[in-house]
Amino acid sequence: MSTEVRTRFAPSPTGYLHLGGLRTALYTYLYARKHGGKFILRIEDTDQEREVEGAVDLIYKSMKQAGLHYDEGPDVGGDYGPYIQTQRRDLYPKYAWELVEKGGAYCCFCTKEELDADREAVTAAGGTYKYNKKCLHNVSLEEARRRIAAGEPYVIRQNIPTTGKASFDDMLYGHVEVDCDTLDDNVLIKADGLPTYNFANVIDDHLMGITHVMRGTEYLSSSPKYNLLYEAFGWTPPIYLHLPPVMIESVLRDKKTRALILDENGCEQKIVRKLSKRWGDPSFEDLLQQGYVRDAIVNYIALLGWAPKDTNEEFFSMDDLVRLFDANGISKSPAIFDMNKLTWFNAEYIRRMPPETYAEYARPWLTKVLDESRFDLARLCELLQGRTEIFSQLPGMVDFLAEMPALDPALFTNKKSKSTVESSKAALAFIKPVLEGIGEWTEANLHDVVMAAIAESGMKNATVLWPLRIAITGRAATPGGAFEMAYLLGREETLRRLNAAMAQLSAN
Which positions are catalytic? 277
Q: What is the DSSP string of 169-191?
A: EETTTEEEEEEGGG----EEE-T
Minimum CB distance to RNA smaller for 4 or for 48: 48
The answer to whether the CB of 9 falls within 8 A of the CB of 66 is no
Q: How far is the CB of 1 from RNA (least distance, A)?
A: 29
Task: Identify which of 469, 427, 417 has the alpha carbon closest to the alpha carbon of residue 446.
Answer: 469
Residue count (the chain): 508
How buried is 59 (Cβ within 10 angstroms: 0-12 exposed, 13-18 middle, 19+ buried)?
buried
Q: What is the DSSP string of 317-386?
A: -HHHHHHH--GGGB-SS-EEE-HHHHHHHHHHHHHTS-HHHHHHHHHHHHTTTS-TTTS-HHHHHHHHHT
Q: How far is the CB of 310 from RNA (least distance, A)?
A: 7
Q: How far is the CB of 22 from RNA (least distance, A)?
A: 15
Minimum CB distance to RNA smaller for 73 or for 479: 479
Q: How far is the CB of 2 from RNA (least distance, A)?
A: 25
Query: How many Å apart are CA 446 and CA 441, to the nearest integer?
Result: 7
Minimum CB distance to RNA smaller for 1 or for 415: 415
Minimum CB distance to RNA smaller for 3 or for 424: 424
Q: How far is the CB of 66 from RNA (least distance, A)?
A: 19
The answer to whether the CB of 394 falls within 8 A of the CB of 384 is yes
Query: How many Å apart are CA 470 and CA 454, to the nearest integer?
Result: 17
Task: Look at residue 474 and give its three-state secondary structure.
Answer: coil
β-bridge mates for residue 248, sequence order: 273, 337
Minimum CB distance to RNA smaller for 387 or for 496: 387
C-alpha of 178 from chain center:
33
Q: How far is the CB of 245 from RNA (least distance, A)?
A: 5
Dihedral over Cα of 354, 355, 360, 364: its sign: positive
Minimum CB distance to RNA smaller for 184 or for 286: 184
